[in-house]
Amino acid sequence: MAALSDSDRARLFAVACTAGTTNLGIIDDLEGIGAICKQNAVWYHVDGAYGGAALAAPSARMLFNGIETADSFIVDPHKWLFAPFDCCALIYADPAKARRAHRQHGDYLEVYYDGTWNPSDYAHHLSRRARGLPFWFSLAVHGTQAYADAVEVTLDRAREAATMIDAHPHLELVTDQQLSICVFRRLGWTPDDYKSWSSQLLESGIALVTPTKHEGETVLRFCVVNPRTSSDDIQQVLESL
């Protein structure tokens, strides 16, 4: 079956796919979608708001194969790259195209403009805070290897959590764990059971683990983004189930 019909082709100018969905951490077929976009001259955007951080981790890099064909890509350093709220990095394969789309002319804007670089040329909004500065500062202080190591630690923790869930007599993984998200069900529980367990866990000061839904079913979701989350922390949560 053709991926795009003739009428799709006539109307479509961009495709946005996800490199790590919010709920389940699933990564789209970045290679396949990228190839179709290239064949059809459609702008190819990848949303890595949460998952894009795992590009820094060698053990997860292959999950993102094909991302190099994207025209644009975003990652939120305030999610899994340890930066303060609210910082989104937007990266273009060819910034000149973005500049042609977004550049605004105003004589009052030209005073300090050297003709080559003005951040406001690369997104639709003109005014913005220096959101990237805390992230840049942290990167400059710690170096990229510290980021790779920290993301690997959280991935390892999520893999351990998935193994513990598999071994737990009352728990069942709902989807395969790929990134640092584990989605699982507690056999025999109603939505109210999930809700009251989550409130009690928070009240006890152990953890905040909230229920979500998958295909209409109430389930639980871990999203490990803090390298200080220990195996013991996870075990303690799972033992309370």
Ligand X SMILES: Cc1ncc(COP(=O)(O)O)c(C=O)c1O
Give the residues lining the site for ligand X (CB under 6 A): 18, 20-22, 47, 49-50, 76, 88
CB nearer to ligand X: pick between 22 and 236: 22
Smallest gap from Cβ 21 to ligand X, in A, equals 6
Ramachandran category for residue 92: left, alpha or beta (phi over 0 → left; psi -120 to 50 → alpha): beta
Smallest gap from Cβ 145 to ligand X, in A, equals 25
Q: What are phi and psi of 177, to 5 degrees?
A: -80, 125
Q: How far is CA 14 from CA 108, 171, 235, in A?
A: 33, 40, 44
Please name every residue paired with 219 in a beta bridge, in sequence order, or none if there are none: 212
Give the angle subtended at the CA of 131 by the CAs of 128 and 134, to the nearest 5°. Answer: 155
CB nearer to ligand X: pick between 49 and 162: 49
Strands in 14-18's sheet, in edge-to-edge order, are 14-18, 43-47, 72-75, 89-92
Task: Please give the radius of gyration of the chain, using alpha carbons only, rounded to the nearest integer.
Answer: 21
CB nearer to ligand X: pick between 20 and 34: 20
CB nearer to ligand X: pick between 36 and 88: 88
Smallest gap from Cβ 182 to ligand X, in A, equals 16
With 0-12 / 13-18 / 19 or more C-beta atoms within 10 angstroms meaning exposed / middle / buried, residue 156 is middle
Proportion of the chain in helix, strand, coil states, percent, rounded to 5: 45, 15, 40
Smallest gap from Cβ 50 to ligand X, in A, equals 4
| Residues 6+ positions from 179 with CB-CB distance below 8 Å | 20, 25, 27, 50, 51, 54, 60, 63, 155, 158
Smallest gap from Cβ 211 to ligand X, in A, equals 17
CB nearer to ligand X: pick between 44 and 50: 50
CB nearer to ligand X: pick between 19 and 238: 19
